[in-house]
Amino acid sequence: MKKYRSVWVLIISMFFMASAYTMLIPFLPLYLLELGVSQARVHLWTGLVFSSAFFVAGIMGPVWGKMADTRGKKRMAVRAAFLIGCSYFLGGIVHNEWQLLGMRIFQGFANGLVAASMAIISSTVEEKALGTYLGFAQTSIILGGICGPFMGGVLSHLIGMRDSFFVAALFLWLVTAAIVIFVREPAHAPWKTSQEGSIVDDLRYARSNRLMFEFLMAYFVLQGTIMMIQPVVTLYIGELQHSMSNVAVTAGTIMSCGGIAGALTTTFWGRLGQKKGYYRAICMTISGAGLGMLIQSIPDSIFWFGVCQAMVSCFIVGANPSLNAALVKCTPESFRGRAFGLSNTAQQMGSMIGPLLSAGITEFMPIYMVYILAGIVLLYLAWRMYQAHLHSVSL
C-alpha cells in the first residue's frame, strides 16, 4: 500500500540493523582475543564491552526521544542509522580493547533507530492495523537476529572479523539513505507541559501515567529476564550434552530454530491484541514464556530443551509488539518519540542488569536455577499486568 511505503522501508531497515548487530556482537569475545586480550581477561573485557553500550544507550534514550518529538522522528532515525554505521566503521579500525570499549560507548550513544522507527510507524498506521504492523516490525528484527549470526560466521571465514565491521557499516549507511529518500513523517502538534516538555517533566509525566509506568516496568523486567538467560544458554547446553564439543553449533542451531518459531507466531499475537485486547495478549505471552522457562529447567536431553526453547520463543516474541501497541494507546501522539525513548531506556537498563543477575546466580547455584528464577519473574510480571488491567481502561 503506497501510503504505508514509509512503514515498509522502516520494517526492512530494522531487519538490516538487527542483521548487522547480530553478525558482529556475538563474536566480540573472539575479536577481543584477536586484538590481543589474554584468555584469562577476555571474560572481564567481554562484560565491559557489552554492558557499556547498554548503559550509555539507557541514559540517552529520553534525550533522543525528546528530540524526536521536538525536532522530528525521521531526523532522529537518520541520525541513529548514520552514527551506528560510523560506530561499526570505527570497530573495523580499532587496535586494542580500550578502543573497542570506546567504540561500544559511542554505539550506545548513537542508539535509537528502533525507538524512532516505532514512533514513526505508530503515527502512520491506522489504529485498527497497528498491532499487525508492529508485529511485522518485531518479526523483521527477529529474522535479522536469525540471519545475522550466520552471515557473521560466513563473513568472518571469508574476509575476517575486522572487515566484517565495514560490511555492517555499509548496511547502516544504506539504511540511512533509504530513510532519507523514502520515509515521510506524519505532521503532529508539539506536546506541551507547564515546563515546556523538559526531560525531568517527561519523566514525571511517565511516572504519573499509571498505565505507561506499568508498561515501562514490563519492558525492563522482560528484557532483564531475557538477558539473564542469554549468557548461560551455551553452558547449559554443554551440561545437557555432557561435553563442550561443538557446543557453539548445537546452541546456534537451537536458538535459530527458536527464532524461526518465534518469527512465525509474531503476527498472530499482534492480530490477537487487535481483536481481543492488548492486555490479554501481553498476559498470555508473558505467562506462556514464564511457564516455558520453568519447564526448561527440567529436561535432561538436548532435544527436549530445544522443544522448550521453541515454545518460549513462540510466546516471548509476542510480548513486545503488544506492549508497543498498548504504549501507543496510553500516550498522546506528540509524546510518542519520548514514550519509545523511555521504553528503549527501560530495555537497555534491563539488558545491563540481566547478565549481572545471571552471573551472581551461577556463582553460587546450578545453571538451571537461572531458568527457574526467570520463569518465576515472568509469571509474577504477567500477574502484575493482569492486576493493572483490572484497574484500567480496556486495552
DSSP label of 141 = H
pLDDT digits (tens, 9 = 90+) for 238-259: 778 777 666 666 766 777 777 7
Q: Kindly report the CA angle at 366 between 317 and 260, in degrees rounded to 5? A: 20
Give Cα 176 distance to the centre of its chain.
20
Which pLDDT value is given to residue 96? 92
Which pLDDT value is given to residue 42? 72
Share of the chain above pLDDT 70, in %: 90
Average pLDDT over residues 330-335: 76
Contact between 117 and 16 under an 8 Å Cβ cutoff? The reply is no
Contact between 269 and 321 under an 8 Å Cβ cutoff? The reply is yes
pLDDT digits (tens, 9 = 90+) for 260-314: 777 777 778 777 877 777 788 888 899 999 998 898 888 777 888 888 888 888 8
Per-position b or e across 231-245, b if 16+ CB within 10 A of its CB: bbbbebbbebbeeee
pLDDT at 81 over 50: yes
pLDDT at 333 over 90: no
- pLDDT confidence of 8, banded at 50, 70, 90? very high
- pLDDT confidence of 187, banded at 50, 70, 90? low
- pLDDT confidence of 376, banded at 50, 70, 90? very high
The larger pLDDT score, comparing residue 177 to residue 31, is at 177
pLDDT digits (tens, 9 = 90+) for 87-121: 999 999 999 999 999 999 999 999 889 888 888 88
- pLDDT confidence of 188, banded at 50, 70, 90? low
- Which domains, and CATH codes, for the chain? 1-182 (1.20.1250.20), 207-389 (1.20.1250.20)
pLDDT at 359 over 80: no
Angle, in degrees to the nearest 10, between helices 130-158 and 113-124: 150
pLDDT at 15 over 60: yes
Query: How many residues does this entry show for the chain?
Result: 395
Which pLDDT value is given to residue 146? 73
**What average pLDDT does the structure give for the chain?**
81
Which pLDDT value is given to residue 194? 39
3-class DSSP assignment, residue 392: coil
Which pLDDT value is given to residue 49? 83
Tell me if the pTM is above 0.85: no
Average pLDDT over residues 8-22: 90
Which pLDDT value is given to residue 390? 62
Which pLDDT value is given to residue 195? 42
Instruction: List CB contacts of 8: < 8 A, sequence separation 6 or more.
Output: none
- pLDDT confidence of 132, banded at 50, 70, 90? confident
Query: Picking from 55-64, 229-238, 279-288, 345-354, which range would have the lowest pLDDT averaged per residue?
Result: 229-238
